[in-house]
Structure 1
Amino acid sequence: MPAAPHRDHAGFELPLLLFAGFRALIDQLHERLAEQGHPDLRPSHGFAMQAIGRQGASASEVGRRLGVSKQAAGKTIERLEDLGYVARVDDPVDARRRLVRLTDRGVDALSRSAAIFEELRSGWAGTVGEARLRALEDDLRRVTPPDHFRLDAAGWFGG
């Protein structure tokens, strides 16, 4: 049964609704990833793999991109390495440095995530209508800063 519309729109509800929408998408993503062979991935892993990127990154770079310490990034990298999503390799440019790179399993998880997000978006469009969803996306682009695709959510939440 749909919720009754609110007559009063308290300011505190907006961030809660935005977060609830985000959480719903992420939870559904991880349910589907588990069904598709990636049951051990957690939301923080997705942020970390995005921070590593297709070119790879050092643990320090991953930490900076995530807004966490090098040690915290190292723990996440170690877990992803244990799960087979990343590997540490020598930096071909600087022999003193090690890079973290996505493995084929890591690339597969990110590719599947992208496809699942497209399906989830289609589901939202089916619920609220494509025009309303596009308007919401456009409006959110207008009110968010240009660097809104930051990966430091885990560090930000952690304080």
Structure 2
Amino acid sequence: TNFGVMGIFTAASLIFFAFIGFDVVATAAEETKNPQRDMPRGILGSLLICTFLYVAVTLVVTGMQKYSEMSPTAPLAEAFKSVNQPFFSGAISLGAAVGLITVSMILLLGQTRVFFAMSRDGLLPRVFSVTHPKYRTPYRATLLLGGIIAIVA
């Protein structure tokens, strides 16, 4: 773990990946009723909320435990353990596991929309640009990518 100026750069590079899922909002733009209004509101609103939550959690954890004693593997859960709050430590660990699953599912949603757009533009076979007759979603790309990811998992 780096502290000081190098620690700031390390943290900045890591926190970048926390914001990487916001591109999925842009890939789902075609499914909004008024994308010119709703897209900027959705992206900026979610960025503001998440940034506020990141800063608030950082301030709380910094007040709970000295920075040099924080665990590099699970700093938030371990900080709650250090102040004799095992329930919250477990809840945070469970939330992290559930969060990883939902992030994977959202990235799958975004990837199916990318396949759909690429197929519509002729960069992939046209079979992926067909939408479901009832739900109006690109179900063929969803089935293909879901199957591939299930096999890999």
- TM-score, reference length from structure 2: 0.29
**Whose strand fraction is larger, Structure 1's or Structure 2's?**
1
- TM-score, reference length from structure 1: 0.29
Q: Select the structure with the greater relative contact order (CA < 8 A; seq sep ≥ 6).
A: 1
